[in-house]
Amino acid sequence: MNLTPLDDVSLVQDERLRRCVFLAGLVVMCYDYLLTLELEVTHMWETKLKRSSAWFFLVRYVALGGNIALAVYFLGNLDAQVCRKLSVVENILLVVQETFVEVTLAIRVSAMYKFSRRVFVALAFAAVLTISLAVWAITGPDDSPAIIPILPGCHVATGHQTAIRMAAAWEAQLFCDILILGLTLRRAYMHHSDVACLGSRMSLFQTMVRDGVLYFGMICVVYLANIIMLYTGDVIMAGSLAWFASSVSVTMVSRLMLNLHRAATGNWMPSYSQSEVDAQVKDLVAPNLEVGVADSQGTS
């Protein structure tokens, strides 16, 4: 972390940039919400409420409502006492959002492995470690400057020790996501021949693999950028990417659930069994075999 004292101009510029980064995350979340609203209405609102649908609403709307509400905290000009209270709410909401993200991804991968006990234990251990470090990061001793008089409104200053704790929590989360990505790729490798036989028909398993690689890749990139900023940023910029990373991860997970609902006709939790793969392979191969047999008989 950059411990060099900042002059007044640098403080003001960093604070403006921090607010812009938060606003960018909010815009990404709201814009993606508008893009996927029709899909959500079709596969969530117009179907019977299920546990998977209820979980989707919880993940998406807690994050969306929380980000919109905290826009006042990040962009407004509030009293210092109110800012301190909202700072606690901000940290709690950040941990809740990321907990929702990790639980969702863990359920998804567990479903790919038919809820294997070994996979569940590994993911549960990683999740508990991540959540524990996140709670430790927000409840530990705060060495951040309480008030920077030159900055208007609610500013978020992050001291060196606080930034180190936050970086450890995000590193644990990045490790958890890499573990999930590795399990996804392993499952894809185990069934690559069956998936290849399905041709262009997008099955539930194919959707899970495709979205896993794409979305996990994006989530890992923003997490890594946030960790680097925590180690290299100054007291204003150190924690500036936390909300952007959280907004992107919630957005990607929301898209993941929507795509799986669409692929599974409203249910994203069941695993894609081998019998279902065999049935789809048979449907594709059987007509071609019949044509080949007919051709050979005609030739003979």
Per-residue pLDDT tens digits for 239-280: 888 889 999 999 988 988 888 777 765 443 433 344 443 444
d(CA 276, CA 282): 10
Rounded CA gap, 189 and 184, in Å?
Answer: 9
CA distance 174 to 256: 18
Query: Could you tell me if residue 158 is left (phi over 0), alpha (psi between -120 and 50 degrees) or otherwise beta?
Result: beta
The helix or strand, by DSSP H or E, that contains position 209, with its residue range, turns out to be helix 204-232
To 5 degrees, how large is the angle CA 232–CA 237–CA 238? 50
What's 156's DSSP letter? -
Domains of the chain plus CATH, in order, are: 8-264 (1.20.1070)
CB 234 within 8 A of CB 4: yes
- Read off the pLDDT of residues 47-106 as tens digits, 9 standing for 90 and up: 888 888 899 999 999 999 988 888 888 877 777 777 778 888 888 898 899 889 888 888
Rounded CA separation 17/121 (Å):
41
pLDDT tens by residue, 160-183: 888 888 899 999 888 988 888 888
CA contacts within 13 A on the Cβ side of 209: 17
